[in-house]
A and B are shown apart, each in its own frame.
Chain A
């Protein structure tokens, strides 16, 4: 470990920078997350599961749309709903993946206190734990979109896709979700395992308020403003504009695409600062109250 000795038996260790430690934490956590997500069965079954799950999810949506909402596949609302749902897979994967790692490590694996006693950056560690979920969500989203194009006739011609916008929006959106996960992770540090339901609640609220399945325009005025303040809303708007050529929200139609991306970027930065500050505050409280090895799984 790059160690040298001096007089009086003093040990002088070559110190890695905080950045190096953070990068290391991210890498190892991503490896761990992948092992946890993929190691529960053999690779073949895991591959089958990875394909079947999003397709089944898409079929449920189509069933609900056709039978419950009595909509038609040719209705312009259908691609809006379908793409929103496909990308919502990331919300569950990244947001809950990051925050759930706190409960998992603290109460299921009993490792959180050992992680906190180790020289790692816990924020990048938690984000790293979400990387595997992100990879799985990426595959699931891609399969869902391919299913939509191939089986349900959704028109996403590769030549018509704004790939640059898609990539940029995806990076910013995933960052926003990771920071939101960190915010929830901070809350989880201070609370019992039922905070999982808080995470589910937040994911549910995003589903309703961010224009995942229906445009912001149908929301009451107050909720519409809530929706307009969420980075996820602008992320989905940008993704739809990149894939479908139209965001589908009348409330945002007046905004040029560049402005949508700028708002997404700025709101992500605000969320990042708020999340890190809140997480650090929650850590201090957890240290003060002795909550890092709390066991609440009854």
Chain B
């Protein structure tokens, strides 16, 4: 292969929203949703954008899908500038947003999908064949003739997932595609997504998620994003390798305790996050090395807390996020936590 081909390129992409101030009528404040984001996604990649809710992931997808104008910077999809030629961009892309129940309720599942295929100029017979295949994948084959107002939100989400793949787009944007889905379905969709990109090396997927596990399992490369800024971008293994010199521990102590100020004073504690779980306090620690554990345990004991469990872990993307941001991903993602695996 010669020069690298980028399906998606952004350069200093910035988006600022003006939001009305509640406290002062007529005044606005600026919210930076995307802050000079620079990314380059190669053709054939399944590229993840990992970040908590409100990090700017959906804003990024909306700009790339020509739904939102950037305030500054440039973005190209399939080699086409999204601002200068949005019409052309739309011929190359597909988009699925998770966690929503869009669709025409009076149409059947099959009709909804068929109608969409027609906007892309697919032959009707080819579209129907593809619809049958995709409905098998998402487990909706027996619902093909059901009007979608009879479907649950999860089923509609599955239908919309199928819609994203229906036209075999050159670049596919998946915005939190498994959010709110049951364990089995989420697993099936992830497997299908990975298989599709492996089978279609000339296609590209950009997937946003706040599920660390999903990004780790699926993506060739991951950009970690917070408050609109791209903090790191590499293969999941490479990102985790960056923490190899450090020691990652998970501790559980009794009671709901705020040990933050205490741990902040202990030498060797690089980053920590704590969360209340089932009446106990769970601590994720990134230490300079294993030697720093002893003073940590001493400090905890000194605070009157009882150690319930101690686990040395391999670094995860969650730890990478903690290292970069100083907060855990699940801590800042409302309703976050791990996905149904």
Contacts and interface: CB of A to CB of B under 8 A. Distances in A.
Interface of A: 1, 8-11, 13, 15-16, 18, 20-21, 24-25, 27-28, 31-32, 35-36, 39-40, 109-111, 113-120, 284, 287-288, 290, 292-293
Interface stretch (B46-54, B65-73, B240-248, B256-264): B65-73
Contact of B95 (A32, A109, A110, A114): A114
B116 to A, nearest CB: 7
Instruction: Name, among A28, A40, A117, the residue most crowded by chain B CB atoms within 10 Å (CB to CB).
Output: A117
A36 B116 contact: no
A80 to B, nearest CB: 39
B116 A118 contact: yes
B201 A1 contact: no
Interface in B109-137: 111, 115-116, 118-122
B43 interface: yes
A252 B61 CA distance: 55
Contacts of B90: 116-119
B62 interface: yes
A15 B67 CA distance: 22
Contacts of B100: 110
A27 B270 CA distance: 61
Interface string B82-96: 000001001101110
Given A18-B87, A28-B115, A35-B104, 8 more contacts: A9-B201, A20-B121, A28-B119, A31-B118, A116-B90, A287-B68, A290-B68, A293-B67
A13 B203 CA distance: 14
Contacts of A117: 65-67, 90, 93-95
B5 A25 contact: no
A34 B68 CA distance: 30
B53 to A, nearest CB: 17
B294 interface: no
B126 to A, nearest CB: 8
Given A32-B115, A287-B68, A290-B17, A13 B91 contact: yes
B104 A32 contact: yes
A36 B107 CA distance: 8
A119 B115 contact: no
Interface residues on B, range: 35 or more
B301 interface: no
B2 A8 contact: yes
B336 interface: no
B180 interface: no
Given A1-B120, A114-B95, A118-B90, A11 B102 contact: no
Contacts of A24: 118-119, 121
A89 to B, nearest CB: 23
B74 interface: no
Contact of B107 (A16, A35, A284, A290): A35
B87 A287 contact: no
B106 A40 contact: yes
A288 B65 CA distance: 14
A9 B43 contact: yes
Interface in B195-244: 201-202
Interface string B36-80: 000000011000000000000000001001111100000000000
Given A24-B121, A40-B106, A293-B67, A15 B1 contact: no
